[in-house]
Amino acid sequence: MSRGRIILEQDRFRLTIERLCHQLIEEYQDFSNCCIIGVQPRGINLSDRVHERLNAILKKPKHQYGKIDITFYRDDFRTREKPLVASSTEMDFIIENKRVILIDDVLYTGRTIQAALIALNHYGRPKSVELLTLIDRRFNRELPIESDYTGITVDAYDETYVKVEWEEHDGADRIKIFPRKK
């Protein structure tokens, strides 16, 4: 894969996450009867950042925070060439009648979110579920799923790959777009 083109630099990246946190605060205020759940594996970097930033802004928010693995809830997990490796689910609470904020980095076809919604059923029946994503690739949806809170919208077709890079893992916070290998 070539080096790619940066479409969101570090300063705007941080500002985007800050904006998303303030949108959540406007809607949820003190976050009572609310939980934030990151989708393993790639949504965790974003959900960790949102969780940490909300804690810093609100001092003691009342939400619970968890991480859910959706590996074996995907409709395509049996069609992979290599065995899949599941991430751990870290949820020590029930979501029964709670407002759930589901967080993932990129909304692409909608299949990951569909799997996350199915996996959430094992933890109760939520009052509501809203989706927060850093990137919405709106032209590639296969299922009728949309983000309630979106960092940026990227109009990229299947011939491109959008990658979120995180300072902790990649040395800088940024979003890149690459042509897909054929």
What confidence tens digit (pLDDT) does each residue in 65-75 have? 999 999 888 77
What confidence score (pLDDT) does residue 3 get? 76
Q: 174-179 and 5-8: which strand pairing?
A: antiparallel
Q: How far is CA 144 from the centre of its chain?
A: 17
User: Hey, what are 23's tokens?
Assistant: 């949108």
Q: Which residue has the higher pLDDT, 81 or 155?
A: 155
pLDDT above 70 covers a percentage of the chain that reads 95
* Of 40-44, 47-51, 86-90, 171-175, the least confident: 86-90
What confidence score (pLDDT) does residue 1 get? 42
What confidence score (pLDDT) does residue 79 get? 61
What confidence tens digit (pLDDT) does each residue in 21-54 have? 999 999 999 899 999 999 999 999 999 999 999 9
What confidence tens digit (pLDDT) does each residue in 95-147 have? 999 999 999 999 999 999 999 999 999 999 999 999 999 999 988 889 999 99
Task: Check whether 182 has a pLDDT greater than 80.
Answer: no
User: Hey, what are 135's tokens?
Assistant: 């990137």
Q: How many whole angstroms separate alpha carbon 163 and alpha carbon 31?
A: 30
User: Hey, what are 129's tokens?
Assistant: 């579920």
User: Which whole-number Å values give the CA distances from 141 to 137, 138, 147, 156, in the listed order?
Assistant: 8, 6, 11, 11
Task: Check whether 80 has a pLDDT greater than 90.
Answer: no
| Of 151, 152, 173, 174, nearest in space to 23 by CA | 151
- Convert the chain into a string of H (helix), E (strand) and C (coil): CCCCEEEECHHHHHHHHHHHHHHHHHHHCCCCCEEEEEECCCHHHHHHHHHHHHHHHHCCCCCEEEEECCHHHCCCHHHCCCCCCCCCCECCCCCCCCEEEEEEEEECCCHHHHHHHHHHHHHCCCCEEEEEEEEECHHHCCCCCCCCEEEEECCCCCCEEEEEECHHHHCCCEEEEEECCC
User: Hey, what are 75's tokens?
Assistant: 């409709």
What confidence score (pLDDT) does residue 114 get? 96
Task: Check whether 60 has a pLDDT greater than 90.
Answer: no
Which domains are assigned to the chain?
Answer: 31-160 (3.40.50.2020)
